[in-house]
């Protein structure tokens, strides 16, 4: 993969478009994703680092490098919870084998891609406090 980005503003603009790439990750292409997301994570401004760091963690886990996944997740700001980072942390903590991703992804990839398109890239951004009172309270 080749990505030519010359400024932080270009990087900030392109990250939402790249987030859907995690659905196409597998053990066969994880090394390429590790290289890509290592580069992008290193160049990402703090305010958008959670996304590429989470993708790097995911690619690291898929490639069988749990330590790399943890190092990547350390780049996600603690005050900015990020769903994919939490998913990767759970997979590493539970010792989930990367082949489980391929099994789950192959059966749900089409639906997940459609849903991701429907929700748009903004749903992949860091979650805000959206607590709502329960109905009837």
Concatenating the DSSP letter of every residue in 68-108 gives HHHHHHTTS-TTS--HHHHHHHHHHHTT--THHHHHHHHHH
pLDDT, tens digit (0-9, with 9 covering 90-100), for 79-125: 877 888 998 999 899 898 988 887 777 665 555 555 545 545 444 44
What integer pLDDT is reported at residue 116 of this predicted model?
Answer: 47
For residue 40, which of 17, 64, 56 has the smallest C-alpha distance? 56
Q: Which residue has the higher pLDDT, 133 or 33?
A: 33
> What is the overall mean pLDDT for the chain?
76
Higher-pLDDT residue of 57 and 109 is: 57
């Amino acid at each position: 993969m080749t990505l030519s980005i010359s400024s932080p503003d270009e990087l900030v603009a392109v990250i939402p478009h790249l987030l859907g790439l995690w659905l196409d990750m597998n053990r066969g292409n994880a090394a390429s994703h590790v290289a890509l997301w290592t580069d992008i994570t290193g160049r990402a401004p703090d305010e958008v680092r959670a996304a590429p760091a989470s993708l790097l963690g995911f690619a690291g886990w898929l490639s069988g490098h749990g330590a790399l996944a943890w190092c990547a997740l350390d780049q996600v700001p603690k005050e900015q919870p990020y769903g994919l980072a939490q998913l990767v942390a759970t997979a590493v903590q539970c010792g989930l084998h990367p082949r489980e991703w391929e099994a789950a992804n192959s059966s749900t990839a089409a639906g997940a891609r459609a849903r991701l398109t429907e929700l748009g890239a903004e749903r992949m951004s860091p979650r805000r406090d959206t607590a709502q009172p329960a109905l009837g309270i």
